[in-house]
Amino acid sequence: MMQKPHCPIIAIEEHYWDDELASHFVGQEGSRAGPMEKRLRDFGGERIKDMDAAGIDMTILSHGAPSGQKLPADIAVALVARTNDRLAAAVAANPTRFAAFAALPTAHPEAAADELERCVGMGFKGAMLHGLSNGEFLDLPKFWPIYARAEQLDVPIYLHPSLPHPAVLDAYYKDYMKDYPMLARPAWGYTVECGTQALRMVLSGVFQKHPKLKIVLGHLGESLPFQLWRIDQALSRAGQKSLNFRDIFTNNFWIATSGFFSTPALLCCVMEMGVDRILFAVDWPFVDESKPGVDWMAGVPLSSEDKIKILSGNAQKLFKM
């Protein structure tokens, strides 16, 4: 069996819940089954034990979905700032093991840009946005102040899924959600929702206006690397606005292994994106244990040099760690 190379391991999509922010989640997003909710609220005990058992040196913490993206506009700015302050305190209490992505109050894009800058000033590595912002896709020009500030600060924005729009849930998934509740979530719904969000961003022109904007997608790119050739070819057919989808996607996006420990899928991503664009993540606690993800990487048929890049080198470069 191939071995893990001797290098640090940085896991970049590991979630937590803030008590105050999570108290505003409703419906299917208002709780998590079994012990998962307890693990989401843990910073020291089980989380650190899991990291140690897997050999993970550092995790970048991010709030779980829907984070600040479904907050009422009248409370979003102050509530998200308090949430980020508490996360900053948790990181400061254990700075050799934790880093952080900011939550942002996207109901107020200019304030969200200011909050991103404030958090970067506290050492945060960027921000994570979850799904639609109160029903609106995040490619809309009203949200571009966030991306302008991220480009200015040279930090990435991580696009993470949340539950699909209620109309999509009803039209696409309701027939099977009773028997297969994960269908609308990681089994398929999250992929479609977040992949569509990323595709729309490329189409929107935001990367022409902000060519140094950096976007991270989890779950091996929400299937977009697999679809890359076909998307690019179809969008280049006659009768459409000129756009080189492949160039934008491979120049402005990075992808993470979160919750997707498949060797064939990873090798597809390496071939389409290049190994420098791939980052290691587990997706704890939605993946029960981190060790299987680390063990999987040990057996992936890549060179030690490439594994080092995925396990930590690319993250160190992208997040200036």
Q: What is the CA radius of gyration of the chain?
A: 19
* DSSP code, position 249: H
In angstroms, the Cα distances linking 3 to 58, 223, 274, 296 are 20, 27, 22, 10
What is the C-alpha to C-alpha distance for residues 85 and 53, in angstroms, rounded to an integer?
29
What residue type is 157 in one-letter code?
I
* Catalytic hit among 283, 288, 295, 306: 283
What is the C-alpha to C-alpha distance for residues 144 and 19, in angstroms, rounded to an integer?
29
Indicate if 283 belongs to the active site: yes
Beta strands in the chain (DSSP E): 10-16, 58-63, 98-100, 127-130, 157-160, 215-217, 253-256, 278-279
Is residue 72 a contact partner of residue 26, using CB atoms and an 8 Å limit? no
143 beta partners: none
Is residue 206 a contact partner of residue 144, using CB atoms and an 8 Å limit? yes
Is residue 269 a contact partner of residue 255, using CB atoms and an 8 Å limit? yes
In angstroms, the Cα distances linking 198 to 36, 75, 186, 216, 223 are 28, 27, 16, 10, 11
What is the C-alpha to C-alpha distance for residues 228 and 220, in angstroms, rounded to an integer?
13
Closest C-alpha to 314, from 263, 268, 280, 271: 280
Positions annotated as catalytic residues are 283
